[in-house]
């Protein structure tokens, strides 16, 4: 199945797919009193918001199948897979000791199973989109994935769901070019690592950086990091220097950086590493993006790749803010226009675009344009 950017024909249906499986709640801290930020209730709250708004039943339910070993190994080292697989046989003290070997990870006997469900659910959703069974979709999945590196879990993430699904559709369906947009407030180091040399994957991340002081606290998240070798120019880091970044900042980055680059790249599929920890009210992210802001970003992305768009849950730790942000995105996927509605040939954002981006935003965008000038016609 060969596709070529926006020139490809539209999917055979205009429907929106949804992945939700209650079994993913079984990945949980060993101590039930431990209210970890990556709370099993996150997916339930999104489901509840979609049901209450009448959106869930308007979506096509995509059945979840566990990711197979060969799927996981498209990205991860066999030792990584073996480490997680063994967790089902370990005692609580053994699980604690193993988790302490990694950066910000908890493990329980059901963790590997839930990670396979999470990854497999996203694969099934992407398959449904690229085959035309549905037009777009949202994966309400956990554990998240964008921090998981080739050799180890990290940052609440076990398997790198988005990276695996990206490689899976490339290998199984002839999808050549994939745009990954990562709007989680943290840099997706694992996704970047997986595709740093790949000219056919454009990874675009908006994240707090603050001179590598903000998690995952690595200089690879800086604006000047653009990819290696044949992948030069295909890694884009919009590295915010401070908290409190809001709708105007994110939409200005979309309009001046992402959308021009995306149109030039002409992806066959767009996948969003869809964390909501930049949402207003999230105490970890400390940013100010509203549900309306997420809705408008989703509306812009719908104009790419013939509408083939998949959103995959990553972070987001304020349960209500995460649920309302996810609802806003799903409404746009279903064709419910954000307020104010887009006008003209592409989404124009009269209300939000009237807000002025911050000086921090403007300086960051200038740094990205300077770093990527040699690689993109749109910046020359």
The whole-number pLDDT of residue 136 equals 99
Predicted pLDDT of residue 337: 78
Which is the catalytic residue, given 76, 81, 146, 147?
147
pLDDT of amino acid 339: 64
Closest CA to 125 of 133, 163, 58: 133
Q: Tell me the domain boundaries of the chain.
A: 13-24+39-379
Q: Do you know the residue count of the chain? A: 380
Q: What is the model's pLDDT at position 353?
A: 56
What confidence score (pLDDT) does residue 355 get?
78
> Is 147 a catalytic site residue?
yes
Q: Give Cα separations from 169 to 74, 298, 374 (angstroms).
A: 11, 21, 30
What is the mean pLDDT of each successive set of 10 residues along the chain, which is 380 residues long?
36 77 97 92 98 97 98 98 97 97 98 99 99 98 98 98 98 96 99 98 99 98 98 99 97 97 99 99 97 96 98 98 98 84 45 80 98 96
pTM of the predicted model as reported, rounded to 2 decimal places: 0.93
13-24+39-379 CATH choice from 3.100.10.10, 3.40.50.300, 3.40.800.20, 3.40.50.1400: 3.40.800.20
Rounded Cα distance between 111 and 91, Å, is 13
**pLDDT at site 12:** 36
In this structure, are residues 63 and 151 in contact, taking their beta carbons and an 8 Å threshold?
no
The confidence score (pLDDT) of residue 8 equals 33
The pLDDT value recorded for residue 32 is: 84
CB 207, CB 213: distance < 8 Å: no
């Amino acid at each position: 199945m060969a596709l070529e950017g926006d020139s490809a024909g539209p999917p055979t249906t205009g429907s929106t797919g949804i992945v939700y499986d209650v079994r993913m709640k079984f990945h949980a801290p060993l101590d039930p009193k431990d209210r970890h930020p990556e709370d099993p209730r996150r997916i339930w709250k999104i489901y509840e918001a979609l049901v209450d708004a009448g959106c869930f039943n308007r979506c096509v339910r995509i059945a979840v199948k566990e990711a197979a070993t060969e799927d996981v190994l498209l990205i991860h080292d066999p030792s990584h897979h073996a480490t997680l697989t063994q967790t089902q046989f370990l005692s609580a003290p053994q699980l604690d000791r193993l988790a302490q070997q990694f950066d910000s990870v908890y493990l329980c006997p059901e963790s590997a199973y839930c990670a396979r469900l999470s990854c497999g659910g996203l694969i099934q959703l992407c398959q449904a989109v690229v085959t035309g069974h549905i037009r777009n979709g949202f994966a309400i999945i956990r554990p998240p994935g964008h921090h998981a590196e080739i050799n180890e879990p990290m940052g609440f993430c076990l398997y790198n769901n988005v990276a695996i699904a990206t490689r899976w559709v490339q290998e199984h369906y002839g999808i050549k070019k994939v745009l990954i947009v990562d709007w989680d407030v943290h840099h997706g180091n694992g996704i970047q690592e997986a595709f740093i040399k790949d000219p056919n994957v454009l990874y675009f991340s908006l994240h707090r950086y603050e001179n590598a002081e903000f998690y995952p606290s690595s200089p690879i998240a800086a604006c000047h990091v653009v990819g290696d070798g044949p992948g030069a120019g295909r890694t884009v880091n919009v590295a915010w220097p401070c908290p409190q970044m809001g709708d105007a900042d994110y939409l200005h980055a979309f309009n001046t950086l992402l959308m021009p680059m995306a149109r030039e790249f002409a992806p066959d599929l767009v996948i969003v590493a869809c964390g909501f920890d930049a949402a207003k009210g999230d105490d970890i992210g400390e940013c100010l993006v509203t549900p309306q802001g997420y809705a408008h970003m989703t509306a812009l992305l719908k104009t790419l790749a013939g509408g083939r768009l998949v959103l995959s849950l990553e972070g987001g730790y304020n349960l209500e803010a995460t649920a309302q942000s996810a609802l806003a995105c799903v409404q746009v996927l279903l064709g419910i226009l954000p307020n104010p509605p887009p006008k003209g040939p592409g989404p124009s954002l009269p209300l939000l675009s009237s807000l002025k981006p911050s000086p921090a935003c403007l300086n960051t965008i200038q740094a990205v344009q300077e770093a990527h000038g040699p690689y993109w016609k749109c910046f020359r």
